[in-house]
Chain A
Amino acid sequence: DAKTTQPPSMDCAEGRAANLPCNHSTISGNEYVYWYRQIHSQGPQYIIHGLKNNETNEMASLIITEDRKSSTLILPHATLRDTAVYYCIVNNQGGKLIFGQGTELSVKP
């Protein structure tokens, strides 16, 4: 699986957009980009995934660069409940998800 690099922590003001970057420069053509988050000791929660096109759902948007070497998860209007660790994962091997250290997002009032 391709390795990912994420900043260890970020802050965001409540109501503003949170933009979480992920670098995956060694991603191969058939690997997807997945985002999960974990709110303090709860089970991780799936957010979104994509291959090469930008994706949007009710939770977030995923922007993947044209060369697919990086991506950004966008939470359009962050709330205090979005405070969590966000994991960017690239994967093509039998669905097995390997979690890195993630980005700890703190949404502040």
Chain B
Amino acid sequence: DSGVTQTPKHLITATGQRVTLRCSPRSGDLSVYWYQQSLDQGLQFLIQYYNGEERAKGNILERFSAQQFPDLHSELNLSSLELGDSALYFCASAREQTNTEAFFGQGTRLTVV
């Protein structure tokens, strides 16, 4: 158990819908990262937050947004869902902002039908 909690574990929704994925980092970790893993793309970095502020952005679509709340949990919002958004979404947390080990949650498996 990494100490990072992601909910829900599985989500099935229709195209065009909007969903929210939630991540609770390990106690004391200030950094949260989001990754997308689909079969043909590998692990893609989406976005990083540190202590409530956005710190780095990767290949995140405009239809996706994220935030980190004062209690340090984070949410990833996916809207206008397409079939191609079906993937595993992982959240990771780390103590510091730079050069440290990250702990990953077990992921949310999103299926868009």
Q: Is B43 in contact with A49, judged by CB distance below 8 angstroms?
A: no
Residues of chain A at interface, number, CB under 8 A: 23
Known A-B contacts A32-B99, A42-B106; A95 and B94 likewise in contact (beta carbons under 8 Å): yes
Residue of A nearest to B35 (CB): A99
Nearest CB in chain B: distance from A57 CB, A: 11
For A34, A46, A98, A101, which residue has the most chain B Cβ atoms within 10 angstroms?
A46
Cβ contacts A27-66/B at 8 Å (1 or 0 each): 0000010100010011111100100000000000000000
For A87, A95, A98, which residue has the most chain B Cβ atoms within 10 angstroms?
A95
Task: Provide the main secondary structure of the chain B interface.
Answer: strand
Q: Which residues of B contact A46 (CB under 8 A)?
A: 101-103
Q: Which residues of B contact A87 (CB under 8 A)?
A: 43
Q: Is B107 in contact with A94, judged by CB distance below 8 angstroms?
A: no
Q: Which residues of A contact B97 (CB under 8 A)?
A: 94-95
Known A-B contacts A94-B97, A95-B99, A97-B33; A43 and B56 likewise in contact (beta carbons under 8 Å): no
Which residues of B are interface residues toward A (Cβ below 8 A)?
Answer: 2, 4, 31, 33, 35, 42-43, 45, 48, 50, 55-56, 58, 88, 90, 92, 94, 96-107
